[in-house]
Amino acid sequence: MGKGRITIPTDAGFVEETKKIIEQWGADAVRDCDGTTLPENASSLAEKVYNTYFVIRGDYDWAIANKEEWQHLYLISNFNTATGKVLHIRLMDGYFDQQVRPDFASDPKKYWEVIDRTTGRLLSADEWEFDEASGTVTLKNAQAFHDYTVSFLAISLWDPVHMYNSITNGWTERKHIMYDPFYPKTSSYIREHLEKWCDENTETNVVRFTTFLYQFSLVFNDKGKERNVNWFGYTMAVSPRMLDAFEEKYGYKMRAEYLVNAGYYDSSFLVPSKEYLDYMNFIEEFVTDTVRDLVKITHEKKKEAMMFLGDCWIGCEPYGDKFATLGLDAIVGSVGGGVTVRMLSDIEGVKYREGRMLPYFFPDTFFEGNEEAAVDELNRNWMTARRAMLRNPLDRIGFGGYLALAAKFPKFMARATEICEEFRVLYDNVKGKSPKDFVTVGFLNAWGKKRSWMCFMVAHELWYQQIYSYQGILEALSGLPVKVEFLSFEDIRGGVPKGIDVILNAGEAGTAWSGGKYWLDEEIVTSVRKFVYEGGGFIGVGEPTAIEANGKFFQLRDVLGVDKEIGFTLSEDKYNIESEKSHFITADVAEKPAYGEGMKNIYAMNGTKVLDIRFDAGHMRKVNVGEVKMAVNEYGKGRAFYTAGLPYSFENARLLYRALLYTAGKEDCVEKAFSTNIMTDCGYYADKDIYAVVNNSPKPQKTEVYSIEGKKISLNLEGGQLVWLNGSEFGKKEK
Amino acid sequence: MGKGRITIPTDAGFVEETKKIIEQWGADAVRDCDGTTLPENASSLAEKVYNTYFVIRGDYDWAIANKEEWQHLYLISNFNTATGKVLHIRLMDGYFDQQVRPDFASDPKKYWEVIDRTTGRLLSADEWEFDEASGTVTLKNAQAFHDYTVSFLAISLWDPVHMYNSITNGWTERKHIMYDPFYPKTSSYIREHLEKWCDENTETNVVRFTTFLYQFSLVFNDKGKERNVNWFGYTMAVSPRMLDAFEEKYGYKMRAEYLVNAGYYDSSFLVPSKEYLDYMNFIEEFVTDTVRDLVKITHEKKKEAMMFLGDCWIGCEPYGDKFATLGLDAIVGSVGGGVTVRMLSDIEGVKYREGRMLPYFFPDTFFEGNEEAAVDELNRNWMTARRAMLRNPLDRIGFGGYLALAAKFPKFMARATEICEEFRVLYDNVKGKSPKDFVTVGFLNAWGKKRSWMCFMVAHELWYQQIYSYQGILEALSGLPVKVEFLSFEDIRGGVPKGIDVILNAGEAGTAWSGGKYWLDEEIVTSVRKFVYEGGGFIGVGEPTAIEANGKFFQLRDVLGVDKEIGFTLSEDKYNIESEKSHFITADVAEKPAYGEGMKNIYAMNGTKVLDIRFDAGHMRKVNVGEVKMAVNEYGKGRAFYTAGLPYSFENARLLYRALLYTAGKEDCVEKAFSTNIMTDCGYYADKDIYAVVNNSPKPQKTEVYSIEGKKISLNLEGGQLVWLNGSEFGKKEK
């Protein structure tokens, strides 16, 4: 039984029991949690003592004393349609007056915008008036039946995370009000306060920053319910002073519209504008400069600085080019599945990365009679995360909540003990050992590296009907023996970077993931065509390369071999409707594959090989149309694969792996370091010549495992089992 | 038993039997048919004798003697991607050399276009060369990995309809080659030939023009199979002489691109460009001028001129503003259902309109043992058509094929006899009697009146997955007690015309049916908003008013109360997910309504009433999203209704009727001249105070029928029965 790499929550009133659990799990860190306080002698419990620190919202008194430095945000009013000449727009309609208030004091004519949303015209400042008393903007010469919006600066009255918890959980603690370190007094204050806090919290040796300066966009409606949540949003990293500074630095005005985008705000699903990228960079520079100072102070106080990847993480992009310069010791975030593991574990420039596992030790899970469910959730979370850990493990895992609750469930405690130990062994075998990969895939979208493992994500890890058919690609990739590079369109403008075997482009038309207008850029289009023509691979999912122009919807339909019928080519006969009986890619697909939401109206070009096609039952083959679901195409020396959708499943993960090998022209690699049963994965670590064979399902599985040289052995795995094999164990049996 | 309004085919070898059937069915016209010839004494058989006449393709010798006047067409080559500097494009790749040949003799540099389909750039004439011997166009300075097309004029070598029949049915007759009356010799020839033909065909008193000058677009592939069919296409109404004349008249060059549209050709699904509308008008002027002459000749020869609506009908638009000036006596077309009935019966400017009913008397239906199926097809065709006839009947019906085949099936002959009689009674009761309508609906799309009852149509009446969910709207309307006006966007620019109760907009985003860029036109948008605000109704199906701009996808989402999530507002919480328990519109919907292909990702705005919403089974209500399928919204004094799709069914026809009444604010009309059972329809004819109650299903139905004053009686109808009631019959029972 090893020790270390495990963090547990504790509480002042649970010290003796904490000690036992530390022993049992081999934990080496304790942390506080919402609703708990660290014991006085916390540092005697464990090597590491984490303590939550709020940089810009912990001090109510400071906030009240410095109202002029409260944080701001950009909001857009509801759309209001004029029915006559005069139109009153009530700014707060649909917003929560406990959270926000329009900032009438900061020259509205300078920072606000009134836009005709029927024509897109920006109204000049003399076309509208504002009135603070009624909270309205008035147009006196509106055009009848045009709709208008006001984009306005508002003041944040209450930190929305704290507000949510207070409202939902009935917290009575004083409000957390956010002050803005872009203003001079707060800038000094947050540095001084951290010094003081470090001095006062001697037991703490890890400052758990929750987080730094600006909250991701989180806005509530007039009923106090969430109205808009954008985990990637910069609309709360805005203030009059910032806007002025931006203009001074970049030489142009940062318009409200660049952030509110006609109500879409700065959804990461939008292809970002140059102005928005400038603004992100501007904020990132300020935030990272400030965080560098905070880290320095923390280190001077002989403590480690740990960043929580959430809440006020805006401007501290873990995949930004400034991140490694911060000197942060650690980053911590929650683990929902393989994607979130890789989002954390692939971050560079910190000493360690920690994942907060599920379930939380909260009463909604840990109530009497629910122990089996708690164990199930733990197993599910661990097995999903483990696939990704076998590619690149987190450095630490931990739990949150009330330890006293979990401690009442012996089966849960026992299973957690096993997992802690399994994690440590895995870490020792895998970390830094460069697991074998057979293909390098370039995941192409408008964000590239900056949104590594963050593509298609809405509201951090929620299921959405519109995204699961694409998120499955990343979940599959997180545990496959392939190298994943996130590429932006700019990265491939001069040619696809060396080392990339396959380009993957997935998503709905017009989104940042598919790429939208980038596919009208001749340099982008020709770069990909050349890459594939010369032997590269291309995988498209959903609506890849899609934008209607030049007689096509998929701009690379010549490469993909498929296009989408959007009505304009219905007059064209489509004869390519016979599917291949068998194919390398679909060899492990037992039944009809699942495409999730799929994609309608896809047809194959002449010469394409159709792998799966569906016909309307009522009109089967009566007319020569059908919906192509999967296809492969040859393009020069290269190959392309299209699928209508790839929700995560074991079968689809295997399908994707085979598609990657096929399009990379590496079919011969399939029986190398490979476990045949789709419920299992195999990783190979050449340094030690060892194999990890892992059963991702809760049931026993039988599988054949191939060594890196293609030698084969049979294996029976228990439900969820992870087995380590030495290369020598394959020697006994010839393939 | 009446007589008249019935046309039957006959044959030289079937004279005596024809006489008996004429008697039995009360027929008053005989016609020839492919593969038959009229008897010598045809005029003694019936009042009317139709004879097929081909204006521009009947005379092989003329064609051979005048090769320089053969017809042309515009084609676009396949898309060819350059992989180096030199690119050869083989024009005939994918085309059928028996049908077409590139016209190298008519200055290619003038009439052809080479376009970079990666950038959309039109290449200058000195950037490419052509070579007749190899049939290629060559670019010597192509940009690598750009794709290029050549749009070229080709000569039609064989009339495609004749070619298809020859190949499919092994006809050995000499080729029909199309000569172009835009050229002087042919112009004189077709007039002279008609005169001569009329003189020679003394037994004929109805010249059945099949049809006039230019064939709709019908192009075959290199395997001799159909490649592209556009029943509305003008690409075969093109010649060097026409293009020159167009330029002279309109002052600008008619570019190939205006007709080939990057390979979409002139699909009626495209929002037509100004240039294309100019060209249509140009062709229409020429064709109608010519047809007027042909009609005049026909009349001088004491015969009637009948137009077949098909084949060479291009430029003779039955809903064009020149049609009524032609002096045509009649129009004939095939009847597939209610839509095709109305497409014919609503045509103005002819004395009579005739529908060719199904089944054709061909061996594929009339073989031994198949009599029941033939009767079924007859019944189905009649019952579907009859719904529409009760709104506006055809003036005549007829059959085609070999009468001798049908004569062998006594049950078929008996049922046809009944139908002929039922049609005559219906005609007498309905024709010109202005059946009562309760709502006037404006069917709004980019074509308006010109494509009355022709919307969503591909290849004349074929089923397509992409259209049936919209075609159902027209099929429903064809038999509902509502007045239908087809409106173009230009028609509503200055305001919705008086008399319209409800505007209906349906189709996929970007198509001519939905309207595409018209919804960015402030005059259009405000016109509809004002109309609804002041009390009008609006019905949207599928993707109405859809084009992404100004923060919305449905530009009239404020009116419709719904929008489509295309990825940019996933961060926004959607709470409007409870559906109404009951509603006026859905009162007759028994089970879950059928939406056909439906529409994904529709959500309701705040305040909208959701009538039907579906949740993903696996994640039901876990997150606050769901797919709205039907919704109603109030907008000012007006109302809007949205549905995701409306394939034709009795239930959906009723749903649409109720939606029309509801959005028009006329719910009180529902129990007037109304039959409750959804399998039935009721028409009311005030002139005679009579009601038609019709069972559209083959099974007996029980229903309640309301008089125009709301008095009610119960009725039992046999399968397919049509019952005529007098107003007085309602007096007996009070409601």
A209-252: pLDDT as tens digits: 999 999 999 999 999 999 999 999 999 999 999 999 999 999 99
Tell me if B226 and A573 make a contact (CB, 8 A cut-off).
Answer: yes
Question: Residues B144-152: what's their mean pLDDT?
Answer: 98
Interface test with A, best of B571, B605, B633 (most A CBs within 10 A): B571
Lowest model confidence (mean pLDDT) among A473-477, B179-183, B622-626? B622-626
Residues A331/A307, Cβ–Cβ less than 8 Å:
yes
Residues A653/A675, Cβ–Cβ less than 8 Å:
no
Query: How high is the mean pLDDT of chain A?
Result: 95
> Could you give the percent of chain B with pLDDT greater than 90?
92
Question: In 3D, which of B544, B480, B394, B429 has the Cα closest to residue B681?
Answer: B480
Give the pLDDT band of residue A635 (cuts 50, 70, 90). very high
Q: What is the pLDDT of residues B714-725, one digit of tens each?
A: 999 999 999 999
pLDDT for residue B670: 95
Give the pLDDT band of residue B43 (cuts 50, 70, 90). very high
B67 CA: distance to closest CA in chain A (Å): 29
pLDDT for residue B33: 85
Give the pLDDT band of residue B649 (cuts 50, 70, 90). very high
Give the pLDDT band of residue B617 (cuts 50, 70, 90). low
Question: In 3D, which of B29, B31, B24 has the Cα closest to residue B6?
Answer: B29
Which residue in the list B11, B311, B491, B563 is annotated as catalytic? B311
Q: Which of helix, strand or coil describes residue B24?
A: helix
Asked if A601 reaches chain B (Cβ–Cβ under 8 Å), the answer is yes
* ipTM of predicted assembly, 2 dp: 0.96
Is the model's pLDDT at B619 over the cut of 80? no
Asked if B494 reaches chain A (Cβ–Cβ under 8 Å), the answer is no
Question: Residues B548-573: what's their mean pLDDT?
Answer: 97
Region at A315 (left for phi over 0; alpha for psi -120 to 50; beta for the rest) = left
CA torsion B666→B671→B672→B678, rounded to 10°? 110
Give B448's Cβ-side CA count (13 Å radius): 14
pLDDT for residue B733: 47
Tell me if B464 and A623 make a contact (CB, 8 A cut-off).
Answer: yes
Is the model's pLDDT at A436 over the cut of 60? yes
Question: In 3D, which of A404, A416, A455 has the Cα closest to residue A36?
Answer: A404
Tell me if A572 and B146 make a contact (CB, 8 A cut-off).
Answer: no
Q: What is the pLDDT of residues B347-394, one digit of tens each?
A: 999 999 999 999 999 999 999 999 999 999 999 999 999 999 999 999
Pairing of strands A136-139, A87-90: antiparallel
Is the model's pLDDT at B59 over the cut of 60? yes
Is the model's pLDDT at B618 over the cut of 70? no
Distance CA B57, CA B50 (A): 19
Please spell the DSSP secondary structure of A59-94, one letter per residue: -HHHHHHTGGGB-EEEEEPPPEE-SSS-EEEETTTT
Give the pLDDT band of residue A615 (cuts 50, 70, 90). confident
Please give the structure tokens belonging to residue B518.
């018209």
Tell me if A144 and B526 make a contact (CB, 8 A cut-off).
Answer: yes
Cis ω before A172 (30° cut-off from 0): no
At residue B457's C-alpha, the angle toward residues B542 and A573, to 5°, is 105
> Could you give the percent of chain B with pLDDT greater than 70?
98
Distance CA B554, CA A117 (A): 13
Residues B678/B664, Cβ–Cβ less than 8 Å:
no
Q: Report which residue type is found at B465.
A: Q
Give A531's Cβ-side CA count (13 Å radius): 29
Instruction: Count the helices and strands in chain B (H runs, E runs).
Output: 19, 35
Lowest model confidence (mean pLDDT) among A27-31, A663-667, B432-436? B432-436
Residues B11/B402, Cβ–Cβ less than 8 Å:
yes
Give the pLDDT band of residue A681 (cuts 50, 70, 90). very high
Consecutive H or E run containing A148: strand A147-156
pLDDT for residue A735: 41
Give the pLDDT band of residue A617 (cuts 50, 70, 90). low
A81 chain-B contacts, CB cut-off 8 A: 529, 558
Tell me if A467 and B570 make a contact (CB, 8 A cut-off).
Answer: yes
Question: In 3D, which of B276, B259, B589 has the Cα closest to residue B446?
Answer: B276
Closest partner residue to B566 (CB to CB) among A510, A622, A625 is A510
Consecutive H or E run containing B556: none
pLDDT for residue B37: 87
Instruction: Using the Cα atoms of residue B524, residue B525, residue B526 and residue B532 in order, give the sign of their dihedral.
Output: positive
Entry field: residues in chain B: 735
Give the pLDDT band of residue A311 (cuts 50, 70, 90). very high
The set of catalytic residues of A is 311
| Domains of chain A and CATH, by start | 6-58+184-218+271-430 (3.20.20.80), 439-669 (3.40.50.880), 674-731 (2.60.40.1180)
Q: What is the pLDDT of residues B474-483, one digit of tens each?
A: 999 999 999 9
Is the model's pLDDT at A548 over the cut of 80? yes
pLDDT for residue A131: 98
> Could you give the percent of chain A with pLDDT greater than 90?
92
pLDDT for residue B95: 98
Give A300's Cβ-side CA count (13 Å radius): 13
Place of tokens 């469930």: A409
Cβ neighbors of B362 (< 8 A, separation 6 or more) are B401, B402, B405
Residues B465/B597, Cβ–Cβ less than 8 Å:
yes
Q: Enumerate residues 214 to 273 of chain A having a beta carbon within 8 A of any beta carbon in chain B.
A: 217, 221, 225-230, 233, 261-265, 267, 269-270
B236 CA: distance to closest CA in chain A (Å): 15
Q: What is the pLDDT of residues A682-708, one digit of tens each?
A: 999 999 999 999 999 999 999 999 999
Asked if A546 reaches chain B (Cβ–Cβ under 8 Å), the answer is no
Pairing of strands A6-9, A396-398: parallel
Question: Residues B90-117: what's their mean pLDDT?
Answer: 98
Consecutive H or E run containing A443: strand A439-444
B560 chain-A contacts, CB cut-off 8 A: none
Q: What is the pLDDT of residues A314-323, one digit of tens each?
A: 999 999 999 9
From residue A471, alpha-carbon distances to A383, A467, A595, B680 in Å are 18, 6, 12, 49
Is the model's pLDDT at A477 over the cut of 90? yes
pLDDT for residue B621: 46
| Largest Cα span, chain A | 88
Place of tokens 């380590």: A724
Is the model's pLDDT at B624 over the cut of 60? no
pLDDT for residue A592: 80
pLDDT for residue A31: 94
Residues A697/A664, Cβ–Cβ less than 8 Å:
no
Distance CA A445, CA A504 (A): 9
B364 catalytic, yes or no? no
Pairing of strands A128-131, A136-139: antiparallel
From residue A52, alpha-carbon distances to A49, A175, A201, A316 in Å are 10, 17, 11, 18
Place of tokens 């397509």: B464
Give the pLDDT band of residue B706 (cuts 50, 70, 90). very high
Cβ neighbors of A672 (< 8 A, separation 6 or more) are A438, A706, A707, A708, A709, A710
Q: Which of helix, strand or coil describes residue B679?
A: coil
Asked if B634 reaches chain A (Cβ–Cβ under 8 Å), the answer is no
pTM: predicted TM-score of the whole model, two decimal places = 0.96
From residue A542, alpha-carbon distances to A572, A583, B371 in Å are 22, 21, 48
